[in-house]
Amino acid sequence: MRYIVSLAVLPVLAAGADLTQADWSKLETASDPGFIWEQKAPGDGGTSWYLRIHPSDSNCLVQSCDMSASYITHDGSRTYRSINNPDWRFPRLHYISGVDFCRKAPDIGYAGTESNGLFKTTDRGKSWQRLSTASIERIFDWKFARIPISTVTVDPSNPDCVWAGTGYLRRVENRGKRRLAQGLLHSSDGGRNWTLLPDALPRGEMALRILMFEQLPGVILVATDGGIYASRDAGKTFSAMMKGLPEGMTYSDIDGMIEKGSGRLILVAALESSYRKRDGKVVCDGGIWRCDGLDGTWREITGDLRLPGSLFDGLPDFKHGLGANPYWLISTKMIWHEFMEKPENRSLYENVVLNYHKDPAPFHRKWSQANKDYKRHKQYGELAKQTLGIILPDFHTVRIDPRNADTVYASIFHPWIPYGVWKTGNGGKHWNCITRGAQGWEGSQWKHYRPANEPALNIRQAWTTRHPMNYGTPRLTFGFWDVRKFDLSRSNPDILYFHSHRVTYRSENGGASWTDASNRIIDPATSQFAGAGNSNMCVFDLEFHPKKPERVLFWMADCGLKVSRDGGNTLYGLPNAMVGSNQWVLAAAVDPDDPERFYAFFNCRDWLVGGIRGQYFIESRDFGKTFRDITVGKDGTVKLPPKKALAGYVAKLLADPSSPREMRRFLALNYETERYCVATGHLLPGSEKGAGLLESVDGGVSWRKLGKGLEGASDIVDLVPAAGDFSTLYAAAAMRPGREPKGGLFISRDSGRNWEKINCPLESVTQVVPFADGRLYIAGGIRETGKSPENRGGVYYSGDHGKSWQCLLKAPLVSRLAVHPENSQLLYCTVEPDNAGKILSPGVWRSGDGGKNWIRVNNGLAGAYHFTCLKWHPVSPDQIWLGTYGSGYYYLKDPAGKTRK
């Protein structure tokens, strides 16, 4: 049951209320349908864990992203929409592990998720309803609220017949991790009731894919991470189907087809590589395999994807030594094999990893210690290089062309070449890489693996006019692409999708060429584009130029800087600032006088071998077309200005408008915690204790510590000048649970040199909104981790410079706050969820009467959590903009913004 209420009568969030009086498991509020957010961010941005094309509709694609939510397109990726109800906290349609639609009834489909159970659609994915698996969940006494699903399949001839596997699918990629595989689930009534088959598969094996065919009624094929199994009696019994396959292998995927004319079943399987020491040499198994017929024998079709080791010699992407080349992975696999051959380790694995009642930590500690034997790593790596002669990659996903069994596609997922999607048209005798986006493919040594009649590079990305995979790293030829999932259309097999690091791509010619399927390219010559609506961006902030508000500067994690010259409707990628594989910008600022000029702290933490790392202060004087002290070579590599000797991240930047334009004074925050940490409860990767409040008086060349009076405060997460007066500054200090000292609110009346604390009712302040007439609004709180969240935060107002305060809203944590500059009755704030999922009403809240009553406004959002910025448009008073860590930017039009009060 859902209750539609205002905050005036909602005891958990109303002013002065006590959260412990509410039953969060029963009370949930629905968003007001009159307010809808529109996503404006670049498409994608992080990693996509899952892609699935509708089996009978090539224009329909379901995509599940790691940071935000799940999306669907019905028009061939021109536009996407989120399929996660933003008012849901748990269960959410997120981390999809399997989707299937019925061929006979193509509007009916099912989705499985890793931690939120099963969902069903009856309108081809436009809306989804969660299916109850309570009867199954009662069987297990684990701590998880919903049963984890690893894959799902619907009978192509019967939309009520559904099969699913249990377990955490992504855990397959991490050796020894607890996966909670507990067999198969079956429903014969469209998901209303479920039956558990705990013994259908060998203990500990997780179903990765389930195949059913109209032409083979009663036949069910299941690929697990440990084998392939077939049922010929509609699932009553299963038997192994692995004749001819090497023993003891780890499987990744399976696909199949019924050959036209002959009616034969043809299967292809992808295996991880396995390396072992035998008779003083290193041997390997794995690859791509094919089986003809239900009783057939498997044969290997890996062909020339058993790559000569000489291909990797001399590549600048690799360095000699541990962890820097493919031989490190080979030695790790060899050590793992020997480790698991020992009876005591195998017994420990079965007792604590496969048993969900036990703590798997003892096994992980033991394996971690064994894998730290660097001497053995070096020994095995050298032995493999001397005796093996080839390198066999791990294969992740495999697809077979339903028109021709000899045409097979397979993906390789590695942090080194030859990642990507590969294709054979002759049954595996020869393979070509069909995802070539790095300049390394132009090299002569890879000519054998490029189609003779195609260009060396065949991928176009919206954000850059350069190679999308190189990231400007010096001497880097291939970069890094984590190609996990791809899919091939069954109804139009020339159409394929694959996701790489940050972007989804689409091909309409069997992989001969690829275009950005996450963004609409407007002008490829200038990298002008618009997002398609499936943003997975981790946003930090945005800023409108005060004199030319159509100029908007955006900054984010991984994807660095983007700009808009038309108020945010379209964006420009900045190729000269696409530096390193991990482009983090947490601090940027437009120049207060010059609309063409902006500044940014570039926090590069490149994971590539020889990659760029460090803090760089960069400046553009033509709104991103070029950057001072950044040069780009003919090979696409980038030379940056000198590094700044700063630890951690710089997470806020202010330009003093009273300073000379050519010698700007800046203030910056250099702390361990920043607004992302407040919203999520987690530190950023590689976070370190910083220097605190920083000042530069020479245009960003040198920096020094500033801020007498802030020494005893917790991390400053917001720094705001008073309206029209940069000499008066306010600082919001936030704290994390269990950490001291407490936060609070501070003021400086001498441009940041000296500070004093303002008494306020919040021990952790996340944002301050000051007005020239002495009004102050603050937001704050702490992200809760326990079972009984408390109202330690909220929104407070002072009309007398902070001498007295009035509570407008109580909540565990309000991360962002926006007060309309002309209508003081109009407030927006963002309420974050807790870590345990007890709070069922997070998201954006609106008050039109100065905080007396509040309504929830989440419609249009991909996820109601991890909010990083919230601000009104400086010229269009009815526009409010929102940034999230995981689903990009949004804006909303509120008619009340045009009313002055």
Using one digit for the tens of pLDDT, what is the confidence trace for 807-833? 999 988 999 999 999 999 999 999 988
Report residue 679: phi and psi, to 5°: -70, -35
**3-class SS of residue 307:** strand
Model confidence band, residue 874 (pLDDT cutoffs 50, 70, 90): very high
Please say if the pLDDT value at position 2 is more than 70.
no
- Using pLDDT thresholds of 50, 70 and 90, give the confidence band for residue 691: confident
Residues facing residue 720 across a β-bridge: 730
**Helix (H) or strand (E) run with residue 552 in it:** strand 552-556
Report the chain's mean pLDDT, rounded to a whole number: 86
Q: What is the CA radius of gyration of the chain?
A: 28
Nearest to 867 by CA among 879, 840, 885, 880: 885
Higher pLDDT, 491 or 901: 491
Provide the pLDDT for residue 836. Answer: 61
Q: Which of 30-62 are b and which e, b meaning 16 or more Cβ less than 10 Å from the residue's Cβ?
A: bbeeebebebbbbbbbbbbbbbbbbbbbbbbbb
- Residue 163: predicted pLDDT: 98
Summarised one tens digit per residue, pLDDT across range 376-401 is 998 998 999 899 989 999 999 999 99
pLDDT of residue 14: 37
DSSP classification of residue 813: B
Query: Range with the lowest mean pLDDT among 167-171, 232-236, 326-330, 711-715?
Result: 167-171
Mean of pLDDT values over 487-502: 92
272 closest CA partner among 346, 329, 325, 222: 329
Alpha-carbon span 450 to 437, nearest angstrom: 12
3-class state of residue 827 by DSSP:
strand
CA separation for the pair 395, 448 (Å, rounded): 20
The pLDDT tens digits for 305-338 are 999 988 877 665 555 544 457 888 899 999 999 9
Q: Quick one: pLDDT at residue 623?
A: 94
Give the model's confidence band at 439: pLDDT under 50 very low, under 70 low, under 90 confident, else very high: confident
Distance of alpha carbon 702 from alpha carbon 699, whole angstroms:
8
Calpha distance 247→240 (Å, rounded): 12
Q: Which helix (H) or strand (E) holds 807?
A: strand 806-811
Give me the mean pLDDT over the 154-175 stretch. 81
On the question of pLDDT at 692 being above 60, the answer is yes
Residue 755 has pLDDT above 70, yes or no: yes
DSSP 8-state symbol, 363: H
- Asked whether the predicted pLDDT for residue 9 surpasses 50, the reply is no
Please, what is the end-to-end C-alpha distance for the chain in angstroms?
A: 38
At residue 169, the 3 state secondary structure works out as: helix
What are 88's strand-pairing partners?
Answer: none
Strand 459-460 versus strand 514-516 pairing type: parallel
Annotate 438-453 with b (16+ C-beta within 10 A) or e (fewer).
Answer: bbbbeeeebeebbbee
pLDDT at residue 18 is higher than 50: no
Measuring CA to CA, how many Å separate 467 from each of 485, 507, 633, 634? 21, 18, 13, 12
Region 741-768: mean pLDDT is: 94
Per-residue pLDDT at 553 exceeds 80: yes
Beta strands in 9-148 (DSSP E): 38-39, 48-54, 57-65, 70-73, 81-82, 96-101, 109-113, 118-121, 129-131
Task: Spell 158-178 as b/e; 16+ CB within 10 A means b.
Answer: bbebbbbbbbbbbbbeeebeb
For CA atoms 652, 657, 661, 662, give the dihedral sign. Answer: negative
Find all residues with CB under 8 Å of 552, minimum gap 6, and list them. Answer: 542, 543, 544, 545, 563, 564, 567, 568
Quick one: pLDDT at residue 611? 62
Q: Tens digit of pLDDT for each residue in 353-382?
A: 888 778 888 998 999 999 999 899 989 989
* Residues 6 or more apart whose Cβ sits within 8 Å of residue 278: none
Cα(658)–Cα(664) distance, integer angstroms: 9
293 confidence band (pLDDT: 50, 70, 90): very high
The 10s digit of each residue's pLDDT in 669-678 is: 988 887 778 7
**pLDDT one-digit tens code per residue, 215-228:** 999 999 999 999 99
Half-sphere exposure of 704 (CA within 13 A, CB side): 8
Other CB atoms within 10 Å distance of the CB of residue 189: 10
Mean pLDDT of 154-166: 97
Q: What angle do CA 606, 610, 614 make, to 5 degrees?
A: 45
Using DSSP, how many helices (H) and how many strands (E) does the chain show?
6, 62
Cross-strand pairs, 730 = 720, 747
Q: Which residue, among 755, 660, 683, 662, has the nearest Cα to 712 in the 3D structure? A: 755
